[in-house]
Amino acid sequence: MAPDSRPVRRRLDPTVGKARAMVGALLGLKTTGKNRVVENPPLILVGCSGGPDSLALAAVCAFFARRGEVRVGAVVVDHQMQDGSAEVARNTAAQLRELGLDPVLVRTVELDYDGVGPEAAARAARFGALEAAALEVGASNVLLGHTLDDQAESVLLGLARGSGTRSLAGMRERRGIYLRPFLGLRREETLEICDALELQPWHDPANQDPAYLRVRVRHGVIPFLQDELGPGIAESLARSAGILGRDADFLDELAAAEYGKLAERGGAAGAAGAENTGEKGDLGQIWLPEAALRGLAPALRMRVLALAAVELGGVQPSLERLAAAEKLLAREGSAGPVQLAGKVAVYRQSRNQAGPHEGPGYGKLVLRRNT
């Protein structure tokens, strides 16, 4: 009897199958059955550092590219924070090309430490590079390899900083062009995927450096909580983030609706005499009626103030700065200005101020972009 000459199919690793199901669910693609080749498949990009999480994600996405329903490329960002980072980026790009990803882009960034630490500066530079790359090649989405463990760490960091609901909600599965399909996957499972698919991940030495708060949370706080409270603490923290995320999304929707009704926009002239042009290109100030702000629930009021600051080009203000801005509504003491992050100031027109008590700035909080 002639030996069976049919090729032996390797058994699918269950963790790889689980990861494929997560990516497929988020992209609306099937992992089984006959593939449906698309004439002009959409392009997605994977943000890949070369570490186990993002490399595993890239390999899983390559499966969908081979089925012909989507094109998959990647962006490797070199932050230049360590010696040899350029070589790491080149090696990562080469491994991604071997997986069949195309295009594979390498972007070298310069960090801007304008009042922020290295982690925040690297994050800002990374997302700037990812967005520019997606725009350049016409990608519909950028996939990121954050895991359940990253989510748990984010919640604990938010608690330590006394942050609000949005911060405690952690990272969203969908936000703009960004997708995070692995938020239900443990970090150790991405290592299993790399082993199963014979990948060679890069292990960032910064992930072992206790100088970083997130590293201390990862290797000190979470293991301590697990020892004291029992296993499953990471899953519980991630589950809390999911619950708070839905609450935060609802509050954000309400705040956006109120902001749309209240915000008046104008150029960079003085508040009392500025013409309310409404032209975004000339936007230098935003006015918010004090009486209407006082009538909002505190959770909405803080969000409306934050939306104005961000629209003027600032960054999300801290709760402390927002609370200081909110105190201006009491019309007691100083009329400001209160400085928010990102060179945005907020003040009110004082009743004791000389000149007519009228114009677009009177009876309103004025948020101004400092030039």
Task: Tell whether residue 50 is among the known ligand binding residues.
Answer: yes
Average pLDDT over all residues of the chain? 84
Helices assigned H by DSSP within the chain: 14-27, 52-66, 85-98, 118-137, 148-161, 165-168, 187-196, 213-216, 222-229, 233-262, 290-294, 298-311, 319-327
What confidence tens digit (pLDDT) does each residue in 50-101 have? 999 999 999 999 999 998 889 999 999 988 888 888 999 999 999 999 999 9
Domains of the chain are 14-247 (3.40.50.620), 263-369 (no CATH)
**Cis bond before residue 103 (omega within 30° of 0):** yes
**Cis bond before residue 337 (omega within 30° of 0):** yes
The identity of residue 208, as a single letter, is Q
For the CA atoms of 61, 125, 237, 45, the dihedral, rounded to the nearest 10 degrees, stands at: -10
- What pLDDT sits at residue 258? 94
Average pLDDT over residues 18-24: 96
What confidence tens digit (pLDDT) does each residue in 111-137 have? 777 666 777 788 888 999 999 999 999
What confidence tens digit (pLDDT) does each residue in 226-263 have? 999 988 999 999 999 999 989 989 999 999 999 999 98
CA nearest to 164, candidates 368, 306, 289? 306
* Total-model pTM: 0.80
Say which residues have a Cβ less than 8 Å from residue 40's Cβ, sequence separation at least 6: none
What percent of the chain stands above pLDDT 70?
87
What confidence tens digit (pLDDT) does each residue in 315-363 have? 777 778 888 888 888 776 677 688 887 788 888 865 544 433 444 445 7
Task: Tell whether residue 54 is among the known ligand binding residues.
Answer: yes
Q: Copy the structure tokens of residue 43.
A: 């392009």
Say which residues have a Cβ less than 8 Å from residue 81's Cβ, sequence separation at least 6: 111, 118, 122, 206
Task: Tell whether residue 85 is among the known ligand binding residues.
Answer: no
Task: Tell whether residue 334 is among the known ligand binding residues.
Answer: no
Say how far apart CA 241 and CA 247 lie, in whole Å.
Answer: 10
Quick one: DSSP state of residue 69?
S
Kindly provide the b/e burial profile for residues 127-159, where b requires at least 16 CB atoms within 10 angstroms of the residue's own CB. bebbbebbeeeebebbbbbbbbbbbbbbbbbbe
Distance of CA 343 to the CA centre of its chain: 21
